[in-house]
Amino acid sequence: MNFSLTTVQVNWWAALIGGFLSFLSPCIFPLLPGFLAFLISSRNRKSAVWRAFAFSLGLTVIFVLLGIASGTFGMMLSGSKRWIELIGGIIVIVFGLSYTGLFTLPFFEKGIFIPFNRKIDGFWSAFLFGIVTSFAWTPCIGPTLGAILTIAATGNSLNGGVLLTIFSVGIMIPLILAALLVDFVNKIMPAISKYQRQINIVGGIILIIVGFLMVIGKLGILIPA
């Protein structure tokens, strides 16, 4: 398949939205207060944001490697791009339906918080904590991560790395803002949690639309020429 600029743009937006939806997922967002308390050991906001950024970079390293691997797999099957897109679209639709709550994929039901066995007191410890946590979060954010990896498989290694970088940014931005505004976030979390179901449904619908457009080979129509 020959990617147009509009198709690439759609993929980028899908990756960014996928990262944001992963942050709001029911197995990560409720853990946010405890997670922030563990990651942020001081009230120095500059230090808190720096650690949150380092943690996000740790997540990004693993996700980007997954993206490159997915893109490389797609390159190995370059003669079957249309079939990859077709099958990938069906997989994304299944992930979307799962995200709406119509059914569950058992492997993706629970998130895990891994206690880090060293003090989070600097950039590198927060970075290592991000790497460790990425493995724990991968099953939890499986529907959105899996959908973006599936899209990455329709491109190449570079495309896969870029998509997962953007996906990580979708997680990184709200996480850094949460660290910067931790007191405010703790206050509004109960209100946001009331709409968790609606958030999941909207996210699922977005994935279903992207998957359907992949199936029919019309992903680029989401962005006008």
pLDDT tens string, the chain, 225 residues long: the values are: 444 445 566 677 878 888 888 888 766 777 777 677 766 655 566 677 888 888 889 989 999 998 899 888 878 876 677 777 788 788 888 888 887 878 776 655 555 555 555 566 678 888 888 888 887 777 667 778 877 888 787 777 888 888 889 999 998 898 888 888 877 877 887 777 788 788 888 888 888 888 888 788 776 665 444
Of 213, 109, 127, give the one whose Cα is nearest residue 172. 127
Task: Check: CB of residue 60 under 8 Å from CB of residue 172.
Answer: yes
Domain count for the chain, please give it. 1
- What is the pTM assigned to this prediction? 0.77
Q: Which domain holds residue 78?
A: 5-107+115-222
Contacts of 5 (CB under 8 A, 6+ apart): none
C-alpha torsion sign, points 6, 11, 16, 20: positive
Of 221, 81, 92, 59, give the one whose Cα is nearest residue 153. 81
